[in-house]
Copies of this chain bind each other. A is one copy, B any other.
């Protein structure tokens, strides 16, 4: 770490910083500049005490971190792309994966008709929420275990793999019994206990970026999963919260390029949550492919205007079929295939 000392600090003040740096386990190296002094603290920042606490000293202007905070998720540590095997479906590397299905599982008919439609259009993984995190306690909270049962029925019929959200540590075990991928939603992106318990289930994890999570923090959430023994994390960009209100969130497609450069993990894009408007989904799917994403997770509903959650962002079967038909030539240009 680098400790920047304020201009005009006395030698005594500088020495106090040097002493604290040494006390906290680093080798201090002062550099006396023309205007200001900085103290470089030599040592591995990941195993020592952070020196950010030195900001509290009145003579310290700033403490600058040198090392990256993530390691297992880092491409520096693991240069080749991670490819995850989801019960026979590959995610990452040359593979492009489409996950699709309703926001919420509402009924057998709704789920099965959607499963058939998304399969016919080329999806290989079925999404569907059984447990729904809803902003208000008065909104539809999902069918729970009955929803999981219906997902199993759909899997049996169509052969699609299942991705569904887990909201609670207490649900990890039974959700893991029904799902091929556990989704950690944006609101739980820093619910570290849930991350750890999901990691320990051994199932692949789809980790949504938190609504106001910096890319570094998102990678650190993934680091929690890897550090608890589960290497199978798919990062999912789903839009961040900004001042813009025309779209529900601001889909950060740069983050796809950044995440793929910084990490070896596959990156999936959720354009439905990302914009909140069905009419924008197809364009964002094409943009995601061109940005080299490894897959998409798309909300599809037989009749979005009557959906029990997030109808505004769900596409119907016809729109889904059309957007899927547009993707292969773009994919070909990126060297990936569905």
A244 in complex: contacting residue of B43, B70, B170, B240, CB < 8 Å? B240
Q: Does A224 interact with chain B (Cβ within 8 Å)?
A: yes
Closest-by-CB residue of B relative to A211 is B212
A38 & B40 in contact (Cβ 8 Å cutoff): yes
Q: Does A50 interact with chain B (Cβ within 8 Å)?
A: yes
| A: number of interface residues (CB 8 Å) | 116
Task: Tell me the A121-179 residues at the B interface (CB within 8 Å).
Answer: 133-139, 167-171
Assembly CA distance A199 to B69 (angstroms): 35
Closest-by-CB residue of B relative to A32 is B42
A190/B192 contact (C-beta < 8 A), A55-B312, A223-B137, A253-B287 known: no
Contacts of A134 in B (CB 8 A): 192
* Distance in Å: Cβ of A298 to nearest Cβ of chain B: 14
Assembly CA distance A274 to B264 (angstroms): 24
Contacts of A228 in B (CB 8 A): 137
Contacts of A70 in B (CB 8 A): 136
Closest-by-CB residue of B relative to A293 is B287
Assembly CA distance A212 to B244 (angstroms): 8
- Please list the residues of chain A having a beta carbon within 8 angstroms of any beta carbon in chain B: 2, 4, 6-8, 20, 23-24, 29, 31, 33-36, 38, 40, 42-47, 49-50, 52-58, 61, 63-64, 66-70, 76, 133-139, 167-171, 187-188, 190-194, 211-212, 214-217, 220, 223-224, 227-228, 240-247, 250-258, 261, 274-275, 277-280, 283-284, 286-292, 304-308, 310-314, 329-330, 333
